[in-house]
Amino acid sequence: MQTMKNNPVHSKKNASPHSKQIKRLWGRLIVLTVAITVFTILFAVTANAASVSVDVNSDAKDGAMSELQLLFLFVLLALAPSLLMMMTSFTRIVIVLSFLRNAIGLQQTPPNQVIIGLALALSLFIMSPVISTINTEAIEPLQKGKITEEVALEKMQDPIKEFMLKQTKDKDLDMFLSLSGDEDVVESGNTESLKNLDLSVIVPAFITSELKRAFTMGFLLFLPFLIIDMIVSSTLMSMGMVMLPPSMISLPFKLMLFVVVDGWSLLIEMLITSFN
């Protein structure tokens, strides 16, 4: 009994130097990693310090940015993802592409990165007239000092409002107008008066209309692939192959149908023309 009691103590004494060595090794590795990281950051900063300079001028002369313009730029960069989803064609495109992937029966093909990248490229193509209008009417005059920041902000809103109002359904816009109590702002039969509405009314109406259109397009995409699933499942049922998953058999036929009809070109053309 005495030897049995002493064995655990003896084993702990033997194990303690080994555990101390492991702790010392981990401590050295952590210190080395932190030192390498700090050295890399300091080296990058010192290497680029001579070539990188920010010219902030309160008078905004000679093409320099004022403090207010620099602050506005930082705020715009921070809100860029939200603005991309709420005020552009990105939402409809990415939802339709996700519906297509689910309709075919593919879980991770194409991956999310490819879908988001394609949606960004198509959104840039669709929004290029709006971006060019904002650049010529607001950004360039602001940089040259011809207009103030308040006037530039108003001129930036006009092309975006015009784009969103073209894609917004009247029913959705009337709903948000009634909820906000701004029915008197809009004159009956005058479309120019719609531009006087605030973005707090136009943006939710636009998003609601985009979700409705995206789900409608997704439903139409599901129909041909659903027919293939029904045909394959009924064929397997009549042949007595109950244990064979229908999705395994229907997936090659779905891919073949999508490739034969040149589905990607048709889908991209449909998405682009739906905004005209």
What's the pLDDT tens digit per position in 141-166? Answer: 877 878 777 788 788 888 888 888 88
Whole-number Cα distances in Å, 82 to 16, 86, 266: 55, 6, 29
**What pLDDT shows up at residue 26?**
53
- pLDDT, average across residues 65-89: 74
**What pLDDT shows up at residue 16?**
52
In this prediction, what percent of the chain has a pLDDT beyond 90?
Answer: 15
**What pLDDT shows up at residue 38?**
39
Would the pLDDT of 178 be above 50?
yes
User: Which one has a higher pLDDT value, 30 or 123?
Assistant: 123
Domain ranges of the chain: 67-273
**What pLDDT shows up at residue 237?**
81
For residue range 6-30, what is the model confidence (pLDDT) as tens digits? 444 444 444 455 555 555 555 554 4
**What pLDDT shows up at residue 183?**
65
- pTM for the model stands at 0.68
Would the pLDDT of 182 be above 70?
no
For residue range 22-68, what is the model confidence (pLDDT) as tens digits? 555 555 544 444 444 433 444 444 434 444 344 444 444 444 456 66
**What pLDDT shows up at residue 71?**
73
- How far is 195 from 33, CA to CA, in rounded Å? 56
pLDDT band at 248 (very low <50, low <70, confident <90, very high): confident
Mean pLDDT of the chain: 74
